[in-house]
Amino acid sequence: MFTFNPATQKFTLSTEQVLASAGQGIPQSEDPPKDRKFIDVKDGKFIIIGADGQALEADLGTLMMMVSMKRTDNLDNQIALQLDDIQKRNAIIGAMTDAMNKARQAKQDQGKDSPNLISVKPADPSKFEPDETWKISSPYKVETKLGPDGKMQYIVNPGNMSLEDFKKKAVNHELTPQPVFEHLIPDPKEPYKYTVRDPISGEELTLRQFAKRYDIPWKNIDNGKDKNAKDDWDANIANIKSRIDILNNDSQMANIKLQNVLEKRNNSFEMCTKVMQTNNSSVQSILRNL
């Protein structure tokens, strides 16, 4: 018979042999698998056929319970995956909301003194990234152009070099004149207030780095020098909000799918309960007639 565990809300078979008889088995050949029956009927009796071909008789109630249990387990796995996806999406939406608020604050602070930054010079060329936290000595200048794949690429002039080639040659001292890299890092005495924590990796990222990681279109802004800075901040804020709206729409669809799976899981569980009640009633009836 079956035992109901109220903690897990699942049924377990009292006979290990019945569960083992439904084993999947691992194909040992690359040939297409042959069709086989898992359950058959012979002389009015139901037969469970294992992967090794062994057969075990079982009553209808046992078979129904076994099938319902397996379906419930599969649905539980689907629910866990969907809940994990929803949780991650919610965390990303929260981080994007934080980034949008930081961008609004940055717009208000535009032209004011930047948060204290410490210059590290010379810095490691291999880690150079052309954003507002780096400077590079003349005559080198980082520009962007549209690549053949339709994506923006960094090009370093003079020389029309790709960013990776430029960094490699700088590390190997193959450039004349040799560029000097200056890395601007936040002063630990005054934390850099325009950073966002990535909810997946846990890293603290600048707004530009965060936008790049989550494919948000971004306009780089040089504090106090860009005449169109406030318009650029408006564009960045709008781009973050647009991505949040997309994720919110995705969340609504994910919740609908989750509700459908939960409903199927409840139906499967109800069927298990009804089969168990029917079996128990049959057993009680037999015992009363003994």
pLDDT given for residue 38 in this prediction: 76
pLDDT given for residue 246 in this prediction: 92
Q: Which residues of the chain fall short of a pLDDT of 50?
A: 1-6, 8-26, 224
- For the chain, domain boundaries: 2-83+268-289, 116-191
pLDDT given for residue 119 in this prediction: 82
**Closest-CA residue to 242 (of 89, 100, 36, 137):** 100
The answer to whether 163 and 169 have CB atoms below 8 angstroms apart is no
Handedness of CA 50, 53, 58, 61 (dihedral sign): positive
Say which residues have a Cβ less than 8 Å from residue 37's Cβ, sequence separation at least 6.
49
pLDDT given for residue 240 in this prediction: 95
pLDDT given for residue 26 in this prediction: 45
R_g over Cα of the chain: 32
Question: Tell me: the pLDDT tens digits for 251-274?
Answer: 888 888 888 888 888 887 777 777
The DSSP symbol for 202 reads: -
DSSP assignment of 260-280 equals HHHHHHHHHHHHHHHHHHHHH
pLDDT given for residue 228 in this prediction: 64
pLDDT given for residue 262 in this prediction: 85
Cα–Cα dist 51/21, whole Å: 7
